[in-house]
């Protein structure tokens, strides 16, 4: 029984160290040096080469190294019998809360405008809005979205949320499903996307949906780049329907040199760092799932392959 790390774009050493520190008994290998692929029953993966799972005849569990599984689930070589699990981690949640709170306050207190004024040596005070008069809409109320919505509400924002199924959340007005999407969008002065990327949510931020936001609304996308139709965002910014956007994720990462987002005065870009998985923090749940697999017990944080999240 072997656990193999398949993560060509990530530095594997901290993951190996974090797992070995708490579970030295696990036979741990790192692709492509995991020669005896028939021994591998548990794969810990990120940005795996497409089709790789066909080389592992006895895989029982595939664990994403992060919260998102969109890239993983696109791989046609995932064996039918394998259980897919992902990361759910309080540190990932709190980092995301820090980022979204910073981005919302940055927008409400007009820091981007003051940065431009500073370039022009312009001293021009602007009237700030009180945050309790600003409504933030959270798209996606899962492990991360729900906690970030609560954090924003605690900070003083009005918060509305939207998910697939109906929910009750203290201090957050929740809308659910396609039928209530328009009501949700029309209330959202700042829209935060924390949806998983699935066939139902790809391109969900488009000309039609973004036009339903109030005039002057602001977009924060911290989920996946392919939620957003990028040309539609540019048109709505140029028309002044939207006042700006903060994008941690884009459809092609790294963002190509010639992309208009780089120099757009209303767009803030960060390089997919809103919340980063810390191997030390998540190693215990990976090891727990490995042990559960060995003991044939139900795994933690399972992904519904049909729903795609």
Residues recognised as catalytic: 224, 272
**What is the crossing angle of helices 13-22 and 279-294, to 10°?**
60
Query: Minimal distance in Å, beta carbon 92 to ligand NDP?
Result: 6
Count the Cβ atoms, other than its own, within 10 Å of residue 112. 17
Instruction: Output the residue with the shortest Cβ distance to ligand NDP.
Output: 142
Task: Indicate whether 220 belongs to the interface with ligand NDP (CB under 6 A).
Answer: no
Query: Minimal distance in Å, beta carbon 168 to ligand NDP?
Result: 12
CA dist 61 and 41 (Å) reads 6
Contacts of 208 (CB under 8 A, 6+ apart): none
Residue with the two structure tokens 């993560």: 7
- Cβ closer to ligand NDP: 263 or 306? 306
With residue 208 as reference, give the H or E element that holds it.
helix 207-210
Contact predicate 44/7, CB 8 Å: yes
Task: Report residue 185: phi and psi, to 5°.
Answer: -65, -40
Query: Minimal distance in Å, beta carbon 142 to ligand NDP?
Result: 2
Q: Which of 91, 264, 272, 305 binds ligand NDP (CB under 6 A)?
A: 272
Question: What is the greatest pairwise CA distance in the chain?
Answer: 67
What secondary structure does DSSP assign to 92-114, as a single string? HHHHHHHHHHHHHHHHHTTHHHH
The residues facing 163 across adjacent strands are: 176
Task: Indicate whether 142 belongs to the interface with ligand NDP (CB under 6 A).
Answer: yes
The residues facing 6 across adjacent strands are: 45
- Cβ closer to ligand NDP: 2 or 221? 221
Task: Indicate whether 184 belongs to the interface with ligand NDP (CB under 6 A).
Answer: no
With residue 176 as reference, give the H or E element that holds it.
strand 173-176
Q: Which range, of 44-52, 57-65, 189-197, 283-291, touches ligand NDP by CB under 6 A?
A: 189-197
Site string for ligand NDP, 50-89 (x = CB under 6 A): -----------------xx---------------------
Site string for ligand NDP, 106-125 (x = CB under 6 A): --------------------
What is the size of the binding site for ligand NDP (CB under 6 A)?
Answer: 28
- Cβ closer to ligand NDP: 178 or 296? 178
With residue 235 as reference, give the H or E element that holds it.
helix 230-238
Q: Which of 13, 200, 207, 294 binds ligand NDP (CB under 6 A)?
A: 200
Q: List residues near ligand NDP by CB under 6 A.
A: 67-68, 92, 140-145, 163-165, 194-198, 200-201, 222-224, 248-249, 272, 274-275, 309
């Amino acid at each position: 029984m072997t656990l193999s790390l398949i993560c060509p774009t990530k530095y594997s050493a901290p993951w190996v160290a974090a797992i070995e520190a708490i579970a030295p008994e696990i036979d741990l290998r790192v692709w492509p040096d995991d020669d005896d692929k028939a021994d591998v029953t548990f794969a810990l993966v990120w940005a795996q080469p497409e089709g790789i799972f066909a080389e592992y005849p006895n895989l029982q569990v595939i664990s994403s190294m992060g919260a998102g599984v969109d890239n993983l689930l696109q791989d046609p070589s995932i064996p039918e019998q394998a259980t897919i699990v992902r990361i759910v981690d309080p540190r990932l949640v709190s980092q995301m809360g820090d980022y979204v709170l910073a981005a919302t306050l940055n927008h409400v207190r007009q820091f981007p405008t003051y940065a431009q004024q500073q370039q022009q040596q312009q001293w021009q005070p602007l009237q700030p809005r009180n945050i309790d008069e600003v409504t933030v809409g959270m798209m996606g109320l899962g492990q991360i979205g729900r906690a970030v919505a609560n954090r924003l509400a605690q900070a003083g924002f009005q918060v509305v949320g939207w998910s697939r199924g109906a929910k009750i959340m203290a201090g957050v007005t929740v809308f659910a499903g396609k039928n209530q999407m328009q009501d949700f969008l029309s209330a959202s002065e700042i829209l935060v996307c924390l949806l998983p990327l699935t066939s139902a949510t790809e391109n969900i931020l488009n000309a039609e949906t973004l036009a339903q936001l109030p005039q002057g609304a602001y977009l924060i996308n911290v989920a996946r780049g392919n939620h957003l139709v990028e040309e539609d965002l540019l048109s709505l910014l140029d028309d002044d329907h939207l006042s700006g956007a903060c994008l941690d994720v884009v459809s092609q990462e790294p963002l190509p040199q010639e992309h208009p987002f780089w120099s757009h005065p209303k767009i803030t870009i960060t390089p997919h760092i809103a919340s980063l998985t810390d191997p030390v923090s998540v190693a215990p749940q990976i090891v727990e799932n490995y042990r559960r697999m060995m003991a044939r017990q139900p795994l933690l944080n399972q992904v519904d392959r049909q729903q795609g999240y």
